[in-house]
Each structure stands twice: as C-alpha cells, then as structure tokens.
Amino acid sequence: MKSRKDELLSVFDNAEDGIKTIVRYLIDDMVYLESELSKLRKLPFFLIDKKNLNQKRTEASILYASLISRYVDIVNKLAAILRREEIPEVSPLRVYLETLEKGNGNTQD
C-alpha cells in the first residue's frame, strides 16, 4: 500500500526535475499538515459557559484555522503546477484560431 506522500508524488511523475524538487517540499508540508489537522479535529473547538451560554474558541480552533489555510494554499499551488504541466505548448484551440485568421486575411496589431 502506498503512503500518502508516495500517492501525491506519483501525480507529478511526468514533471520536470526542477518542478519535482519544489513539489516534494510542498508535499512534505502537505502530509505534515494533514497529520496535524487530523489530530486537531479530535479536540473541542468551542468552550461553552453554562451560566450564560457564551461560546469561546479554543486554541485548537485557532490553530486549526491557521493550518487549514496553509493546507489550502499548498493544494492550490500544487493544482496550479499540475495545470501548467498538463497544458500543451501549443493548444489545438490556438492553432485553429490562427488558421481562421490566416484564412480570413485578418491581422491584429
């Protein structure tokens, strides 16, 4: 069975070596954050004062919000890298539009 890190790294198997180096660091952080977030989910996020029913956020809640923000940021960075790696250098749409422009004699300057 693959570890979570190996599973995530396999998504970037076809990436350039320089990209893989960056991705490796991001995935290390991502796996660490997943572990910490999992631990924090088991803790209470609010304390309730039974006398007046006021709620107060716990340290776990504040830390969870901070870590989930960093986690989402890493996911977005990895998704952007993946999209960039998957886009062909010349898209079929661009080739088609250039063909249309040449056929109509249109030039845009």
Q: What is the mean pLDDT of the chain?
A: 86
| Reported confidence tier of residue 26, pLDDT bands at 50, 70, 90 | very high
Q: What is the pLDDT of residues 69-92, one digit of tens each?
A: 999 999 999 999 888 766 556 667
Residue carrying the six token digits 């970037």: 12
Whole-number Å distance between alpha carbons of 88 and 71: 28
Helical H runs in 1-109?
Answer: 4-10, 17-41, 59-86, 92-104
Record the tokens describing residue 28, joined without a space. 């290390």
At residue 70, the pLDDT reads 96
Please give the Cα distance from 75 to 69 (Å, whole number).
Answer: 10
Cβ atoms < 10 Å from Cβ of 33: 19
**How many C-beta neighbours within 10 Å does residue 64 have?**
19
| Tens digit of each residue's pLDDT (9 = 90 or more) over 48-64 | 988 888 999 999 999 99
Q: What is the pLDDT of residue 1?
A: 83
Confidence of residue 67 (pLDDT cuts 50, 70, 90): very high
What would the mean pLDDT of 82-107 be, rounded to a whole number?
A: 70
| Structure confidence at residue 88 (pLDDT) | 55
